[in-house]
Structure 1
Amino acid sequence: MPIHAAFPPLTTLAASVGVTALNRLLGREAWAAQRLSRHSGKTVRLALGQTFVSLTIANNGQMQVADTSIVPDVTLTLPAGRLGQIFDVLRHKDPEQLVEAMHIQGDAGLANVVADLARNLRWDAESDLARVVGDIPAARLVSGGAPLPKG
């Protein structure tokens, strides 16, 4: 039985929102999409705690939500006890922390590309969220819900 068979996949809506955000980032960073396009047709599974999403790499380097029954070429796992680190990474803009917290297994070439992208892609989460929810809510979400300093 596969390790993730007992855990539910992300909802279709959550997976779609995540893939849309990732593809926007890849659209702004052509070098990243180009590196991924060399692995087109392969599938990456991201397991966050007890849920996961599978993504297939398209010819143009963009990601598509994949059927969860597809055996992934690479699996990135962030254990449930380390999920809180996601907010620290966003707040401090230090993706190396996230890469160090994840367990990566599978196709070595694709695993290296995914790890490099995780280290080097710079997502301005607050800016993207601000377009949807406004500046103040976005700042609070990225800071992990902490109140903003006055002034």
Structure 2
Amino acid sequence: MAPLGGALDLFANLLQRWEPPVWLRDELSQRLVLVINHVLQQEPQAQQRIARLHGQQLHFQWQNISLQLVFTPAGLMDLASNERPADLRVELMSQRPSEVMHALAQGDKPAVSIHGDVRLAAEVNWLIDHVRWDAQADLARLFGDAAAYRIAQAARSAAQALKRFVSSMPMQTARDVR
């Protein structure tokens, strides 16, 4: 068994059994929406596309983690109440974080189950394929261009090393995890 994959799966099993307090889930959800909107604000074309979707809702599910978002007229996202069914439901199928990391390291999208509005699914897919966070630009605003370049370069090197490591891990079967 690969040590990193096993550790990730063990951590995921512990998290799956742990039910975080409502206030913590709410705070983490709010922070995630802030990050998503920050990235969207750097992409005017994405905001224009999202503005056309205003009022529609997207529900994301992975294990016991769920998030329901509503598209706003400003081209951003906000937390939605679960009072009505989402227009699109996306569920990450893999139960093991190591499988998700392996797929991402290979440049693949993890397996998902999608139910709902086909046009909304196409727009969400476009967003996933085209919207990227320009971390170096954010770092430059905080630390200056030269420092941001060095930090981003170090982060890219670390990410490449992690990607090579994860790619070299053999995929585990269910019986390997026992």
TM-score class, shorter: 0.5 to 0.7
1:60 aligns with 2:70: no
Q: Distance in 2 between matches of 1:88 and 1:11?
A: 26
1:63, distance to aligned residue in structure 2 (A): 0.3
Question: Structure 1 residues 122, 87: closer, same or farther in 2, change over 3 A?
Answer: farther
Query: Does the aligned pair in 1 maintain the 2:71–2:78 contact within 8 Å?
Result: yes
Match of 1:31 among 39, 45, 56: 45
Matches within 5 A, 1:54-93: 54-84=68-98, 85-86=100-101, 89=104
Question: Structure 1 residues 87, 30: closer, same or farther in 2, change over 3 A?
Answer: farther
- Structure-2 residue corresponding to 1:40: 54
Bigger Rg, which one: 2
Moved segments of 4+, more than 6 Å: 7-10, 125-129
1:58, distance to aligned residue in structure 2 (A): 0.4
1:124, distance to aligned residue in structure 2 (A): 4.9
Question: Structure 1 residues 110, 81: closer, same or farther in 2, change over 3 A?
Answer: same
- Structure-2 residue corresponding to 1:17: 31
Q: Distance in 2 between matches of 1:128 and 1:52?
A: 28
Match of 1:101 among 96, 111, 122: 111
- Structure-2 residue corresponding to 1:119: 129
5+ unaligned residues in a row in structure 1: which ranges?
A: 1-6, 147-151
5+ unaligned residues in a row in structure 2: which ranges?
A: 1-18, 143-150, 163-178
The residue type paired with residue 13 of structure 1 is E
C-alpha offsets along residues 3-26 of structure 1, whole Å, 9 cap, x if unaligned? xxxx99881111111111110111
Normalised to the residue count of structure 2, the TM-score between the two structures is: 0.58
Normalised to the residue count of structure 1, the TM-score between the two structures is: 0.68
Query: Does the aligned pair in 2 maintain the 1:22–1:63 contact within 8 Å?
Result: yes
Q: Distance in 2 between matches of 1:47 and 1:66?
A: 14
More helix by share: 2
Q: Distance in 2 between matches of 1:15 and 1:87?
A: 25
Query: Does the aligned pair in 2 maintain the 1:48–1:83 contact within 8 Å?
Result: no
Structure with greater contact order relative to length (CA < 8 Å, sep ≥ 6): 2
